[in-house]
Structures are given as structure tokens and as C-alpha cells.
Structure 1
């Protein structure tokens, strides 16, 4: 999935555009006669948006147990307030045997401002695994503060494969600091602390591997993250070695809007340091 890898680079490389569409959108998706159900719940997690690109996950569901989770990309025209979202793949699903998940295209309009924002329009698509057309329908969504389904951290296929070798349960977690932030744009810079002694780390966000066996120096390892609102995040520093001078130590600088936090971190082969943060609307 080369496309996903490229999009992930865009996601973590830049977060400079106002995230007017970023967040949770939830409501209903209808389907005409001969569809599997006349009405579904639909929840969009838009975790990245700028003038060129929108990225996120969509959950179509009749219950929390019966759902389809997809990956989508799209574009938004701020002049016309129209957006097009195109699902590229089904990530997971649990549906009745007689139902086939649809790969959908959304044609939506943004109406209103602030707390009264609504996305409405139509959808069409084809069945997963073939080109048979799905019975189309309509969509009506409202911006929400709290998701029904868990927010996932996007991850490339190569990092997902590397993550399989980790057993994070073997090490105790130590929460170093918890941050309450007032912006969704978060920059994290990681340096070796004090003397550079070949400390090497892997970094996880909500259990997803984002950096693998990276050496800490006086030049930062940088992550730009767009935080979903009202969601708990846990950034974990996993020591790959203890360096020449144990333990594995690092300096984390978190920049969130006009605020900057300097956090000194120590990890070992038995303990993993954790920084928690949350952006509340």
C-alpha cells in the first residue's frame, strides 16, 4: 500500500493548515430499496485536512458489533463548501452473511458554522471484491465531540509489520507528565539529554509504532501530530538500548500553539516512559 505510506508522510510532516474539518462527524447514511439495511449509522474520523488533502476513517454500522471500517481520502473546496471523499480500502468489518461492504464515494456539502456545522449529501459505490454497484443513498452528519468508535493512529504497512515483534506488556509504564492542550496541532521534538551517548528509541502513539530504532542526537527527531478532539493520547518512549551511560535519557519538547513544554525522560529495559496529552474542544 504505497499510497498509504505516502499519505502518512504528508500527515506527520506538516500540520500548518487550519483544521476546519478535522474531528468527529456522526449521523446517518440511508440506502434505497434492495440495500442490506434502509439506514446505517455513519461516523467519520477526519484526522487530517488542508487545501489539497483530507484523510480519515469511516465507520458504517448498525451496532458497535456490526460495522465496516474504511480508509478514505478526499478534497474540500472552501469557495463552494463542497467536499468529495473516496474510500480506498476496507480495514475491518463484521456484517451479516447476506451483506457485502460497499466501497463508497461521498459527495457532501458543508452547511453552517461552529457548533451547528452539518455535512449532507449523497453517496454511491461498489461492492467490495467486485464492481457491482451498491444501491446508493443519502448522508446527514453533525460534528460531534466524542466518538462512538475508537480513534486509531494511522500507520504504514512497514511499521505495522515491525510492530509485531514488540511485546509492550513486558515493561512497566511510568507516566512522566500529562498535558491539557488547547490546539490540535502538536509538534514533538526528541533529543538526547545531556551527553550524546548513542541512546536509541522506538516511539509509539496510542500503541501504534511511529519511529523505529532511531538514535537520539543533538538534532531533533520530529513528529507533527494532528490530535483528534476529546481523545486521550499516550506517547511512549521505548528504550532500544541504554546507551553508553545508562539509563536511556531524552529531552522531549512539545510545542502546542503558543505553549512549549520541556520534558526530561528516562527509560530502561524494564520501564517505559509515557507522556499523555489531550486536546479538548
Structure 2
């Protein structure tokens, strides 16, 4: 039985729609009103040629699942389009953003898939217009004052103030997963992360630091970033009798336009169907040229990682055994939204597979670390910067 009078997270949703046997992706938008569990409103669908159709819709919402029916095509009168029955489930995507996704069917038409994101007034989901942007997965790195090497680091911040962290050493120690708590200071715009204990680690003899950090939140186009100092103590000790050398921590979370999210889902769907793995986008990069040089290498212990690299569905590197030598690939971007995926063919001796990737547009080189395993592949959305034309 569904939740009574569960509030829909947003009144406007926007995304994409596909249909079996049709190569193009349709844009799709919902404008809904809610009374109790009942929904009514309008839907708008636009095909690749720019033809827009408006439908009257009705349905129900139980807090997790939306059942929706297009019961009338309002405009244009002809040609007639499919009147769809839709079942959508609420979940979080790889960016930590809320998403409705599911299947649709229609009498006399091939079925398909539909995905929708909540839309704010400016059609952009950012930290300025959704508190949910603090939740979810943040990725980055940390260093330590007494070591010449660094660590890949990520956290997953849950809505109840708890969460998990994962750290991967570039040298000794392997990887570990910690339980944590986190706190939000809205006045200072600071997130405090406090690790409580080590849950699991690949090297049972390696003592990890239990860390605490105060991280300043900064919002920028395409991303949010957290940075600050961390301190801690060695597991099994206290801060008084077993303090770790301190260091600095840096984390990012991508912020993506709704239109870009639809493109990510469209490209990811093909990869996920062929490879039976999910795609998780960790970064959004804006570049100043469509001609890039992408470099891939192992920035940590060389442990036998083997990767395949995809750009917009095309393999640009095939089953490369990652080493300290930087493998360099020149590419030319042809799309406004370009999805780079790191596919792990072999995880080597240390899991997950972490690979350093640099993207050089001729004026700036951005270096990042992507994490992939046999279930989830790390990705980067690359967007060529476009100057607005002068009037």
C-alpha cells in the first residue's frame, strides 16, 4: 500500500524518452498538479525535428512510484502520436540527484524508456536551488604531511547525517572503507566530516588514520568543491597517544544541467546494456577547444590494472595495461556533451581500479582520478566552452 498524501518532490520534470526501433531520443517534460495522491497536468514531447506535441495527463503518486497516463493529445490535432502508459520509480542517479525513471507502453506502438529530473525555475539543478546537492557522492584526493604520495578519497553523505568514506593509497596500504558522520554549518558554508571507525580494508596489517576535516563549500560552474585541512589518529589509538600527520583534503561533486543529464543517460544506456555496468559521472569539465589530448596512467602502485576507454561510445583505448608511462590519445570533440568512460577490464591486485586521467585542451591541463570496478564505471562529462554571440 502506498504512502498517503506523499508530496511530489517537484511540479516540473524534464528529461528524455526513447522508443524501441527509433534511433533518436525525444525530449519530454511534465507539468503536474497534486491533490492527495492524484496527479493531473500537461506533458510535452519534442522529436529530433523539433515537432512539439502536448498531452493531457493524469495519474497517481505514492512517494516512490508514479503511474501516469497520457489520456488526450491536445495539440497539434494531427498527426496522432502514441498515448502512453508510464511507470516511473524515484531514485538517485550517479550524481546524487533525484531521478524518475522507468518504462512506457502504448496501444499499437513499440514501448520505450523515460527518465525525468526535477526542474527549478532556471532549469538548472545547482546547490543554490536544491539542498539535496550536499548529499551523495563526492570524489577527490588527500595528502599527508609525512608522505610524498597521495590518496584517492571519496565520501558518500547520507541524508541522516551519516555516511561512508573510501580511501585508496597510491603506494602501500591498499584501500579501506570507513563509517562517518557529517554536519552542515549553513552560516559558514562548511561541511564537517568525522570518521568513526574502519569497516573493512584490503591489508589487515595496515593501520589507517581515523580522520576529521572541516571543508569549505565553494560553488562554481559545473561543480561544487570542498577543501580544507584534516587531522586524525591511528586506528586503535586516540588523538592524544596516536596522532597522524595531518594534511589537506579536496573533494568535488559535479553540477549538471538537466539537458546534460538527459544526454548522459542516453549515452550511458547503450554502454550499460552492452557491458552490464552502471556509469557514474564524477566530474564535469569545460574545455576551450574541441581538439584535446587525453592521457591515462597509473598514479599509484602499478598493480596490473587493465582498462578500456570510451568517448561518446567509441573505444579510443582498448585493454591497456596501465603503467607509470602516460598513454596519450589525441581526440576531436564533435558534440556539445561528450562522455568519457573508464571501463575496468582487470582490477589488478588492488580494488577498485583507480586511474589517473588528464585532459589537455592546449591552454589548460586538468588531472583527475577516476575509480571503476566490475559493477560501476567512472565517467567525465566534457563540454566545449562556447562564447555567446554578440548582438
| Bigger relative contact order, structure 1 or 2 (CA pairs below 8 A, ≥6 apart) | 1
Same fold (TM over 0.5): no
TM superposition score normalised by structure 2 = 0.29
